[in-house]
Amino acid sequence: MPLRTSSRWIAPLAGLLVLSGSAIAVRAEPQPAPPVTQASPKPAYTVPARRPAHIVRQDTGASLSALFDSVSGNQAKVLNEMGGLTVSMNNDIAEAIEAYYAQPKAKFIWVDGRGPTPKAAQALSLLKQADDWGLNAGDYAVAPPQRSDPKALAEFEVSLSAKMLMFLQDNFRGRIDPNKLSNYYDFKRKPVDLKGTIAQLSATPDLMVVFDRLLPSNPKFAQLAAELHYLRTSGQGGDAAANINKVIVAMEEMRWLPQEFPERYVFINQPAYMAYYYENSTLTLSMKAVIGQQDHQTNFFDASIKTVEFNPDWGVPQSIIRNEMLPHLKRDPAYLDKEGYVVSVKGKTMPSAKVDWSQPLENIGVVQPPGPDNALGQLKILFPNSHDIYMHDTPARGKFASQDRMFSHGCVRLENPKAMAAAVLKTSVEFVDQQIADGAKKDMPVPEQVPVYVSYFTAWPTDDGVIHYFDDIYGRDAETLTAISATTASRAQS
């Protein structure tokens, strides 16, 4: 079933989302078998703090009469009623609501002296379509007032403002904070100027002006939204229920990333075991990748590629020394010498057979020099991050033939590292070969930093419009869905 996108966001009842770009035909691939291994349970997700907004008017009844001399007296009564409301909302939204309605010249956004305005009707219509954006429409439900008394109108006014801010904030940066899911996520959450947003909601006659600024504008998000509509209406596309969850999680994860991808970037999708390079927003290079084992999972984060290192040495992490090398050394103290590693104790090089391995490992360094057997191969591509993750070559070429490529200690091994290095350096593979040929270790900065997204999507659209589905290899989708459910449950509490 082909679904189309066009040049801007609209709000049709069918739920078709539109973004800039040409028409995209979307179809689903069969759902793969469930993963055999799941990640260990994580602590419960901590939902944001909620509280009632406390609106304290900065003016008196007399000043209200002067400020609202062109409106009915009922409007002043509605404003006065706001001080006694107990509408619960997230703390940051409450602060924006309080600041706006406390202003002496605060204007109603959604009601007049008689009831809801046409602008309120537009807002309610948009909020009811939240499911089309991969959200939960129940999170943003606001009941129209059943009567026109000041208290009912005040509650409706404040509630709709709060729900609109939450809806826009959720669309822009996601409902959940990924950094609270586990240590495998590392994102700087995108800030939303809530005070500026509510002022803009008040000032603009067309809410789509605000929506266009804050809703995801990445064409791949539009493909996912179209796929979600397709799955819900057709019941096709493999295991529809499982695929719907994958698409919802993918749309949530898209919001953690930039609103739009740059023209030039590297994208790694761990469940697909693939790495991609984009130039001028066009896919120009793709290759298989090896990622972290279950107990050495690769993180989900973004960074910037800064350096390519040729003929690298490998400083062995202490965790590998402890867990993998010490057992060999107990059987053969000269093990590291035979394998070609350089061992140092407090900076002094010595044979591994002479090292007292009972001392703190912090005193001991183990380095594998450059060479054909180096674990990093002939090059590595560095994007500084707190997880010491990078892309690199590998002498273990046979691993790329495996279907499930979880073999590393967290770094990303590339099937064609020379091509990726040439791409980020804006040069040729022949030039890369020349840098490797002399065998010397050397660092080469890239001419301009390249964004890299080390991501985790179990549903992802390719450039041909096909939505591909992958196993939840680390069990992270389940954790995300649990956090989303906890967030919805929190929002349902008054």
For the cut 90, the answer to whether the pLDDT of residue 317 exceeds it is: no
Instruction: Find the helix or strand (DSSP H, E) in which 460 lies.
Output: strand 459-461
Q: Which pLDDT score, from 0 to 100, does residue 79 have?
A: 82
Q: Residue 114's pLDDT is what?
A: 83
Per residue in 195-208, pLDDT (tens digit) is 999 999 999 999 99
**In the numeric block, which tokens belong to residue 165?**
């801010």
User: 85-99: per-residue pLDDT in tens?
Assistant: 889 999 999 999 999
Supply the pLDDT for residue 326.
92
Mean pLDDT of the 127-135 span: 96
Strand 391-392 and strand 379-382: the pairing is: antiparallel
CA distance 3 to 466: 12
Does residue 64 carry a pLDDT above 90? no
Residue with tokens 């679904």: 3
State the angle between helix axes of 150-173 and 73-81 in degrees (0 to 180), rounded to the nearest 10: 60
Full DSSP string of 309-377: EES--EE--HHHIIIIIHHHHHH-TTHHHHTT-EEEETTEE--GGG--TTS-GGGEEEEE-SSTT-TTT
CA pair distance 487, 139, nearest whole angstrom: 9
Would you state the pLDDT for residue 83? 82
Rounded distance between C-alpha atoms, residue 448 and residue 424, angstroms: 8
Assign residue 445 a region: left if phi > 0, alpha if psi is -120 to 50, beta otherwise? beta
Residue 131 scores a pLDDT above 90: yes
462 has pLDDT over 50: yes
Which 8-state DSSP code applies to residue 49?
A: P
Collapsing DSSP to helix, strand or coil, 139 comes out as helix
For 439, the 3-state DSSP assignment is coil
Banded pLDDT at 23 (limits 50, 70, 90): very low
Q: Which amino acid is at 363?
A: N
Q: What DSSP letter does each residue of 251-295 carry, written as one string? A: HHHHHHS-SS--SSEEEEEGGGTEEEEEETTEEEEEEEEEEE-GG
What single DSSP character describes residue 198? Answer: H
Check residue 494 and give its pLDDT.
Answer: 61
**pLDDT at 311 exceeding the cut of 80:** yes
Residue 133 scores a pLDDT above 90: yes
C-alpha to C-alpha distances, 49 to 99, 136, 272, nearest whole angstrom:
18, 19, 36
CB-CB neighbours of 463 under 10 Å? 15
